[in-house]
Amino acid sequence: MSSSTMSARLDEFWENLDRSDPAGAHARLEAVLADTPATDPEALFHRASLHATLGEYAQAAPLYRAALDHGLDASLRTATLIQLANALRSTGDPSGAMAILQGIDPTDPAADAARAYYALAQFSDGKPAAALRTALQTLSPYLPAHEDDLDRQAEEITAPDRVRVIAVGIVIRDGWVLAEEYGGEGGNRPFLRAPGGGVEFGESADRAIRREFQEELGATVDEARLLGVTENIFDARDKRGHEIVYVYRVRSAALESLPLAQRLPVQDADTTVAWHRIDTLSASRMPFYPVGALELAI
């Protein structure tokens, strides 16, 4: 079948798609793609897109990855990354979605679409204020009479005061501790923070620490031992914070094998984790947060 004939048949398929008949839709698409190799990247893309259109995101994600791995045409690459990110978000991995969307060039014609899906991922990640900020900043250029005002008010949006329950993991190796690095903003000093994140509604802290390490660092937790629970009330970036912290001693072969001089990117943030000598850390030189977490492990 010629490429023009294939394109015409695919266009006809999508124009006449009946979402009320998923099995029939899959059968009709397979009939169109019958003559294509199993690893044809465009065929993989269309199979993935049908799964996504029908809400079958768990089946869509690996097919989108396969299409990219097999050399999908550049004209479809950004759309595929966006749809892969949305499939990850829809199956409970907003951090993975944000990591993909952050990598899309801001000059790409589809950059605004990527930002819109980034806002959805932020919301799914329990960051509604950041999600609204992203959405407004993406929309404002299309409303020139209000752009400056919208941008200003978007910058002023902050999350409502609330008590946050988090789980963090202390990973130690021969006198070194693995920590997320923050450079300091708005006059604040640089600081370190134990990897981890929020405990979701209906989720145990033990499950949360394992999920957070997988989502943010791509690492499997081999053992997580609860050391204690602390409470921190603090001021940061002109806002008061209040955390209930489940502190775990974490063993992870993948992380413990990380070379001492290497940094590992955090998937849903512009930060990295790296090894730091424990005996060089102090509140006056390089503070380690949450307060008291490291002391429970040493």
Please give the radius of gyration of the chain, using alpha carbons only, rounded to the nearest integer.
Answer: 23
Domain 3-126: what homologous superfamily? Tetratricopeptide repeat domain (1.25.40.10)
Residues 14-26 have a mean pLDDT of 96
pTM above 0.85, yes or no: no
More confident residue, 235 or 110: 110
Residue 187 has pLDDT above 60, yes or no: no
Domain positions in the chain are 3-126, 164-297
Confidence of residue 4 (pLDDT cuts 50, 70, 90): confident
Q: Which of 278, 261, 286 is nearest to 172 (CA)?
A: 278
**Among 96, 124, 92, 82, which Cα is nearest to 268's?**
96
How large is the average pLDDT for residues 102-123? 96
Report the C-alpha gap between 293 and 232 in whole angstroms: 10
Residue 3 has pLDDT above 90, yes or no: no
CA–CA gap between residue 163 and residue 155 (Å, rounded): 23
> What does the pLDDT read at residue 235?
80
Helix or strand or coil: residue 173? strand
In this structure, which topology does domain 164-297 adopt according to CATH? Answer: Nucleoside Triphosphate Pyrophosphohydrolase (3.90.79)
DSSP symbol at 28: H
